[in-house]
Amino acid sequence: MPENTENFEDLLDQSLKKLKNFEGAVVSGKIISINNNHALIDIGLKSEGRISLDEIQFCDKEKEVKVGDKIEVYVERLEDKNGEAVISREKARKEESFDEFEKAQDKNVTLEGKIYGKVKGGYTVDVSGVITFLPGSQVDVKPVKDINHLIGVPQSFKVIKIDRDRGNIVISRKAFLEEGLGKSRANLEKDFKEGKVVEGVIKNITDYGAFIDLGSCDGLIHLTDISWKRINHPRDFLKIGQKLKVKVIKFNKETKKV
């Protein structure tokens, strides 16, 4: 076989290997145009990739997206049916953050995030532009049917599981709350001394009253204690998520109920 033919085959093999290595990798790209709420990104291949501006702005908050910007993207496939590379800013952001989340898990660091969507088995949480998963069982120390008062509101979480292969980061609000409860149980009697005025958030409403989240524990406001005037149902006066100042009538030392 002629030498130049062998050289050509070697170069072709190297080129194909290089292209194959692009898939599943985070690469640097450049925004070359913006239209129809999408950014066209050159990542050094024969075809460009396209990402919605919403996805970019979700991951890179408070950053103005413009032509010429350099951006890290995750390459899912080299080509789709339209001949474009399939790329993701969200997956690149997650790849970049794995080390940060692993350190947070190892050091038991508390992370701030916002619950913004419901998925099978739980909820999606935005933690600094990274989509994480909050299992339904990890929302609170007690089962919660309605979490509308938590959605979009900054919350504290602990990292409980990281799966790089599947790209999953699992967090827990329950773990954070339990940690706080462990530290504060000794102070409950002092915090909820009878006659003291405290503030909380209405978390559930029943026919006989409303349950209020007081931080380190829950309290019950009986129907007859909601208003001076007679009301037929707690919903006539209260709503879930409402902040309220209440006076402690009784604190049970054994059950730790207010």
**Exposed, middle or buried: residue 128 (CB in 10 Å: 0-12, 13-18, 19+)?**
middle
Q: Please provide the average confidence, as pLDDT, over all residues in the chain.
A: 81
Q: Which residue has the tokens 């609000």?
A: 173
At 169 the pLDDT is 92
List pLDDT tens digits, range 128-169: 888 899 999 999 988 888 888 889 999 999 999 998 888 889
At 15 the pLDDT is 45
Q: What is the pTM of this model?
A: 0.57
129: helix, strand or coil: coil
Joined tokens for residue 257: 């109920």
List pLDDT tens digits, range 16-71: 455 556 777 788 888 888 888 898 888 877 778 888 898 888 888 777 888 888 88
Is the predicted pLDDT of residue 11 greater than 70, yes or no? no
Share of the chain above pLDDT 70, in %: 85
**Exposed, middle or buried: residue 174 (CB in 10 Å: 0-12, 13-18, 19+)?**
buried
At 207 the pLDDT is 85
Arithmetic mean of pLDDT, 112-139: 92
Specify the higher pLDDT residue, 96 or 256. 96
Joined tokens for residue 75: 């390459």
The span from the CA of 239 to the CA of 149, in Å, is 10
Considering only 102-116, 126-140, 230-244, which range has the smallest mean pLDDT?
A: 230-244
At 16 the pLDDT is 45
